[in-house]
Amino acid sequence: MSATIIDGKAFAAKVRGQVAEHVARLKGDHGITPGLAVVLVGEDPASQVYVRSKGKMTVEVGMNSYEHKLSADTSEDDLLSLINQLNNDPGVHGILVQLPLPKHLNEDLVINSIDPAKDVDGFHISNVGLLGTGQKAMVPCTPLGCLMMLRDHHGSLSGMNAVVIGRSNIVGKPMAQLLLGDSCTVTIAHSRTKDLPAVVRGADIVVAAVGRPQMVPGDWIKPGATVIDVGINRIDAPEKGEGKTRLVGDVDFDSAVQVAGAITPVPGGVGPMTIACLLANTVTACCRANGLAEPEGLTA
């Protein structure tokens, strides 16, 4: 048996298409163009690629993109002052500070200085609290993308056993809250979980978000389960030639695909949904700021 491959790249393109339609309506009916400001501090090569991609896709769906690239030695005061300026700019509906930040900057302080209504990453403590209490929040992009793919594949998730491997604030914890919101029975597993293979074997849905290459083998997966692989890890690939590398997830795809009912690949699974959901969140933030109906199907 071989699992259905959940094509995140195609799904993300569909979501971006829906965002573009909504943006066109906001412009045509209300004369409003949503604006997204992305702040990058330093020269981390992967972050530079993600920020470039965010800017390009923002423009492609018809929104305004504002990129702020700051040097790696930017002071906390200067960064906070930029965020304050963006908080007060009526043309900016979404603000995102690309992570990770250089070590001398306090990530929590910086994130919590963003206006929660413009926090399109959903990382502000107010949004974390709103999500945790089942209230209307800005929802972190990667877990939102996973939820969209799961809903699309299953319809209702009600009553399913879900295991989230990883307890990060960015993915694991919000993912668990979203699954709980859709009436799953949720377990959050982590490095201290006893008998992790047995815990995973009980799951109808497995979300792997630990950051350890190919940690979850196929024989941990319950036959027919849906596997969402959030990991993006670069490993050596000598089979491709000397010094070559390739991307793998937290799941051992080759063995898991034989057992699972459905699985996301890496690359081309969860990753592309992260940026699509960022654009969706920006439209949502813009609609909320203007007291307009939110885009259907693009929120949790």
Distance separating alpha carbons of residues 190 and 163, to the nearest angstrom: 10
The answer to whether residues 87 and 119 touch, using CB atoms and an 8 Å cutoff, is no
At closest approach, how far in Å is the CB of 171 from ligand LMY7XDAE?
9
Is residue 121 flagged as an active site residue?
yes
Is 167 annotated among the ligand-binding residues? yes
Distance (Å, rounded) from C-alpha 288 to C-alpha 294? 7
Q: In degrees rounded to 5, what are phi and psi of residue 152?
A: -65, -40
What is the identity of the amino acid at 214? Answer: Q
The binder of ligand LMY7XDAE chosen from 102, 217, 261, 268 (CB under 6 A): 268
159 in a labelled binding site? no
Instruction: Verify binding: residue 227, ligand LMY7XDAE, rule CB under 6 A.
Output: no
Q: Which of 176, 222, 172, 168 is nearest to 197 (CA)?
A: 222
Q: Where does this chain touch ligand LMY7XDAE (CB under 6 A) — which range of 26-34, 128-136, 189-197, 261-269?
A: 261-269
CB nearest ligand LMY7XDAE: which residue? 271
Choices 95-103, 198-206, 236-244, 251-259 (CB under 6 A): range interacting with ligand LMY7XDAE: 95-103
Q: Considering only residues 32-51, where is the footprint of ligand LMY7XDAE by CB under 6 A?
A: 50
From the list 81-89, 91-99, 178-186, 203-211, the region that binds ligand LMY7XDAE by CB under 6 A is 91-99
* Residue 54 appears among annotated catalytic residues: yes
- Confirm if 32 and 5 have CB atoms less than 8 A apart: no
Give yes or no for residue 130 binding ligand LMY7XDAE (CB under 6 A).
no
Give the E-state strand segments of the chain in sequence order.
4-5, 35-41, 64-70, 94-97, 161-165, 185-189, 205-208, 226-229, 233-236, 245-248, 262-263
Contact between 142 and ligand LMY7XDAE per CB under 6 A: yes
Do 256 and 217 touch, CB atoms closer than 8 A?
A: yes
Task: Tell me the closest approach of the beta carbon of residue 55 to ligand LMY7XDAE, in angstroms.
Answer: 12
The residue from 18, 226, 264, 274 that contacts ligand LMY7XDAE (CB under 6 A) is 274
Active site residue 118: no
Contacting ligand LMY7XDAE (CB under 6 A), which of 35, 218, 231, 272?
Answer: 272
Per DSSP, the three-state class of 191 is coil
> 61: closest CA among 225, 285, 266, 280?
280
Nearest to 152 by CA among 1, 15, 275: 15
Site residues, ligand LMY7XDAE (CB under 6 A): 50, 96-99, 121, 141-142, 232, 247, 266-268, 271-272, 274-275
Active site residues: 54, 98, 121
